[in-house]
A = this chain, B = another copy of it.
Amino acid sequence: MTRTIAVIPGDGIGPEVVASARTVLDALDRRHGLDLGYETFDWSCRRYAETGAMMPADGLETLSRFDAILLGAVGWPGVPDHVSLWGLLIPIRRAFRQYVNLRPIRVFDGVGSPLRTAEPGAVDLVVVRENVEGEYSEIGGRLNRGFPDEFAVQESVFTRAGVTRIADYAFELARGRRGYVTSATKSNGIVHTLPFWDEVVAERAERFPDVRWDQEHIDALAAKIVLQPDRFDVVVASNLFGDILSDLAAAVAGSIGVAPSANIDPTGTHPSMFEPVHGSAPDIAGRGLANPVGTLWSCVLMLERLGHEKAAAELMTAITTTLRDPRTRTPDVGGSASTADVTAALVELV
């Protein structure tokens, strides 16, 4: 049965890294008979400039018929975030109940961490980020606009259902890894929502007696990710904290350009979405310099999710191999290769 993937290259380097991914996926398909079908959508800031909308009115309905979504990057200078992000990326995460944002981070052999102490292999953690509620809420607004007594409010919302399912996901995941969960909090300063988060996480932890867990305030946790990144296995965090910690950990691992993410609806009711952590990078767009590994590692997560574990593992091995050699690494990770060079090397390897 053909599984279909909606491809949204998006803006900036998005089309370049997605083209690379398509080439490598096609090579994989030839070897493994993955039977994947693709349809490409031009939804982007370019489309917005031409038509006034990032995607058509029935865009979400269209996507709902696919098995997965592969996204390059969205955003372009001059297009406000509430258009580009809230007109495409965030609605997809929310409409498809992709409540898990999975962000693995590793130090690869060949990719230097900026930390003196981080040896390849030593850092191997996954941030499990809550992806549909928390601090990114649409509830709020401004009063007395333009006057000296103006103020803005915004409501963070944490539900028992929302915290329960993300905690359960993290504990389950840890079972198949090193069996250790760290919950990010700030309940000493943010005294309504985060004590509630702590309480629900502690309750769920009782169902996973085989998993070790603790909690850390976000300030101390950010510091520890710099000082002892090898300590962590699974980090479970709210929408905002997961966003911060995953970028931070990727930087610590020297690998923002290789960091992947999967926006998952674990119930399988809706398509999940796979996208690199990096953005559209207008400064290097169109120059053939973009690192395709963030997108390709995202494809590994996609293949796993679609049940193609073997192809996923081979692609991951190929990625690891190319990163080892400066001739098959892009400049952002200390190499001299172009996007095309990396792509060719990966096609060769899979």
Residues of A whose CB lies within 8 Å of any CB of B are 81-82, 85-86, 90, 112, 114-117, 135-136, 138, 140-142, 147-161, 186-193, 196-197, 218-220, 222-224, 226-227, 239-240, 243-244, 246-248, 250-252, 256
Bound-state Cα–Cα, A158 to B196, Å: 23
**What are 24 A-B contacts with C-beta separation under 8 Å?**
A82-B191, A114-B117, A114-B226, A135-B190, A138-B191, A140-B193, A141-B192, A147-B160, A148-B160, A149-B160, A152-B193, A152-B196, A153-B155, A153-B157, A153-B193, A154-B156, A155-B155, A186-B243, A189-B239, A218-B240, A222-B222, A224-B251, A226-B252, A227-B251
- Given contact pairs A151-B159, A192-B153, A248-B226, A240 touches B115 in the complex (Cβ within 8 A): no
Q: In angstroms, how far is the closest chain B Cβ from the Cβ of A30?
A: 37
User: 9 shortest A-B CB distances, which residue pairs?
Assistant: A140-B192, A223-B251, A152-B196, A219-B247, A81-B188, A154-B192, A150-B160, A151-B159, A222-B248
List the B side residues contacting A243 at CB < 8 Å.
186, 189, 218-219
- How many copies of this kind of chain does the complex include? 2
Residue of B nearest to A250 (CB): B223
Residue of B nearest to A133 (CB): B151
Bound-state Cα–Cα, A284 to B252, Å: 28
Do B247 and A220 touch across chains, with their CB atoms under 8 A apart?
Answer: yes
Q: Can you add 15 more A-B contacts, CB < 8 Å, to A153-B193, A223-B248?
A: A114-B227, A115-B115, A116-B116, A135-B190, A151-B157, A152-B157, A152-B193, A152-B197, A153-B155, A153-B157, A153-B158, A154-B190, A155-B155, A222-B247, A222-B248
